[in-house]
């Protein structure tokens, strides 16, 4: 991971973590800030043709409650390289969505292994 990205992510993860009163809303907001930091570094933003956002799963369903990340490519044309004449198909888009969601989730779940500050809420 590029040191500039690692530093930006660590700052986003740690910002306000020691004075924050943690609840689901605050955790989802802090996760969104980290997700946006990652996307911004790579020249993207969440909203419009690319959606990436945190989600809480299992709440009120009698299964383990946890947090996750959802990624959606709204416009497959985003994945086209210069010179491509055909937009990626549904399966290709789905693979990209799953991969991006996993990478964004890993920023939290594997923060220590990535050399990032550990999120206080994780």
Q: Which domain holds residue 91?
A: 3-109
pLDDT in tens, 57-105: 766 777 777 889 999 999 988 888 888 888 889 999 999 999 999 999 9
**Contact by Cβ (8 Å): 113, 19:** no
CA-wise closest residue to 31 among 9, 50, 4, 51: 9
121 lies in some domain: no
65 lies in some domain: yes
Please give the tally of structural domains in the chain.
1
Task: Give the Cα separation of 8 and 41 in Å (integer).
Answer: 9
51 lies in some domain: yes
Q: What is the pLDDT of residue 59?
A: 67
Cα three-residue angle 43-74-107, rounded to 5 degrees = 50
96 lies in some domain: yes
pTM of the model: 0.88
CA-wise closest residue to 79 among 63, 64, 91, 62: 91
What percentage of the chain carries pLDDT values higher than 90? Answer: 57
């Amino acid at each position: 991971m590029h040191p500039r990205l690692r530093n930006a992510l660590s700052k986003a993860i740690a910002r306000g973590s020691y004075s924050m009163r943690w609840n689901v809303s605050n955790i989802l907001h802090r996760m969104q800030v980290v997700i946006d930091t990652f996307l911004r570094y790579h020249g993207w933003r969440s909203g419009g043709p690319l959606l990436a956002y945190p989600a809480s799963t299992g709440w009120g369903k009698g299964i383990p409650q946890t947090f996750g990340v959802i990624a959606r490519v709204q416009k497959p044309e985003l994945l086209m390289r210069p010179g491509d004449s055909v937009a990626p198909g549904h399966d290709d888009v789905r693979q990209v969505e799953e991969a991006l969601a996993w990478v964004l989730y890993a920023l939290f779940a594997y923060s220590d292994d990535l050399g990032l500050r550990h999120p206080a809420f994780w």
